[in-house]
A and B are shown apart, each in its own frame.
Chain A
């Protein structure tokens, strides 16, 4: 009985993982459970990240317009060098078998291709060109005092909700 319960529990977790892994890039790979204050370290990384976003003008509508008109190298330099550092770090983590600070092995999941990456990508791009902000910069813009961006953010949440609602009917 106990074993059966455990199996069922495991199965439930697995489906949950399937659902998350398929649809969202954010997959929490850690099996550890911590008290809430362990999350403060992510708050700190977020603060540093937000400061870089603002100081490099990544959150500027004007900078994004410049990028999409090929009028400046700035944003391409940022995305390109961020990618290069990311690739190098992931390679080092794999090569040196680096563990998390709690000693867990670092896990990578591979993404499966579906047509959503094309249709959704194009739709997202249209929105990015309009608002001049992807989801991250929206939070920093509000922090910078552009309170009207709260409306943009709420609208983005609504868009996500509508996607969830229509999901079964959309081509993937």
Chain B
């Protein structure tokens, strides 16, 4: 068991467990799974600036802040208790491609050669971390949800607008990873 916990988990274990979040939140208190809404709650709590979009009763959504605090703690716990010591194993074609950009450190979940405080204010760092984060925040709210709200929760309840959103998420990702990212990394 301990042996299994240490290894990276296969998709057929992880996927169903992630899917079970949907009924768990519904049964625990009629809550709809969706993570990006927390970014909005953060705005509503800290700097609403009289913008109508941030004027709502965010106290009703505090449960969701507890949920993401849990995700953060889950990250800490995994790191201390059963972190897989080896590098992330990926497709050799990706390894070859990234090698060309000088990325060959697979020891962390993020590419540490790009993602570091020293790199934050370089061109690549700004584009990937600040620019990328901005697009994620802006886009998820514009779309009315992110991967959890649309791809998991929305599709679980068979909502076709969520299917549209999910297809666009994937399309954007394909364009970035295959066409734009190679230019940024060069």
A, B bound: yes
Report which of B84, B93, B135, B174 forms a contact with A159, defined as CB distance below 8 A.
Answer: B135
Known: A43-B69, A139-B68. Is A131-B133 also a contact (CB below 8 A)? yes
Instruction: Kindly identify, within residues 97 to 156 of chain A, every residue whose CB is under 8 Å from any CB belonging to chain B.
Output: 98, 100-102, 104, 106-114, 116-136, 138-149, 151-156
| Bound-complex Cα distance A83 to B158 (A) | 10
Which residues from B are CB-within-8-Å of A80? Answer: 15
| Bound-complex Cα distance A72 to B90 (A) | 8
Min CB distance B133 to A, Å, is 3
Which residues from B are CB-within-8-Å of A36? Answer: 62
| Bound-complex Cα distance A45 to B170 (A) | 27
Known: A81-B11, A131-B128. Is A160-B141 also a contact (CB below 8 A)? yes
Known: A49-B18, A93-B26. Is A72-B91 also a contact (CB below 8 A)? yes
Q: Are B15 and A82 interface neighbours, CB within 8 A? A: yes
Q: Are B177 and A68 interface neighbours, CB within 8 A? A: yes
Which residues from A are CB-within-8-Å of B176? Answer: 68, 125-130
Known: A148-B115, A151-B130. Is A129-B62 also a contact (CB below 8 A)? no
Per-residue 0/1 for B102-138: is the Cβ within 8 Å of any A Cβ (1 yes, 0 no)?
0000101111100111011000000111111111111
Q: Which of B19, B83, B139, B178 has the most CB of A within 10 A?
A: B139
Which residues from B are CB-within-8-Å of A128? Answer: 136, 147, 169, 172-173, 176
Q: Are A23 and B68 interface neighbours, CB within 8 A? A: no
Q: Are A120 and B140 interface neighbours, CB within 8 A? A: yes
Q: Flag whether A14 is at the interface (Cβ < 8 A).
A: no
Q: Are A56 and B14 interface neighbours, CB within 8 A? A: yes
For the complex, count residues of B whose C-beta is within 8 A of A: 137
Q: Are A53 and B13 interface neighbours, CB within 8 A? A: no
Q: Flag whether B8 is at the interface (Cβ < 8 A).
A: yes
Which residues from A are CB-within-8-Å of B25? Answer: 42, 45
Q: Are A140 and B30 interface neighbours, CB within 8 A? A: no
In this complex, the interface size class of chain A, counting residues with CB under 8 Å from chain B, is 35 or more
| Bound-complex Cα distance A50 to B54 (A) | 27
Report which of A54, A61, A114 forms a contact with B78, defined as CB distance below 8 A.
Answer: A54
Known: A93-B23, A154-B133, A157-B39. Is A24-B145 also a contact (CB below 8 A)? yes
Which residues from A are CB-within-8-Å of B171? Answer: 121-122, 125
Instruction: Kindly identify, within residues 15 to 40 of chain A, every residue whose CB is under 8 Å from any CB belonging to chain B.
Output: 16, 19-20, 22-30, 32, 34, 36, 38-40
Which residues from A are CB-within-8-Å of B9? Answer: 52, 55-56
| A and B contact pairs by CB, cutoff 8 A, 14 listed | A42-B25, A48-B74, A55-B5, A62-B98, A71-B91, A81-B19, A84-B16, A120-B165, A121-B169, A121-B171, A123-B172, A126-B176, A127-B134, A134-B36
A85-B22, A123-B138, A152-B129 provided; 15 other pairs, C-beta below 8 A?
A: A28-B61, A30-B29, A42-B64, A52-B18, A68-B177, A89-B23, A93-B26, A124-B135, A129-B174, A134-B140, A134-B147, A156-B136, A159-B139, A164-B40, A164-B53
* Contact surface of A with B, Cβ cutoff 8 Å: 16, 19-20, 22-30, 32, 34, 36, 38-69, 71-75, 77-87, 89-90, 92-93, 98, 100-102, 104, 106-114, 116-136, 138-149, 151-165, 167, 170
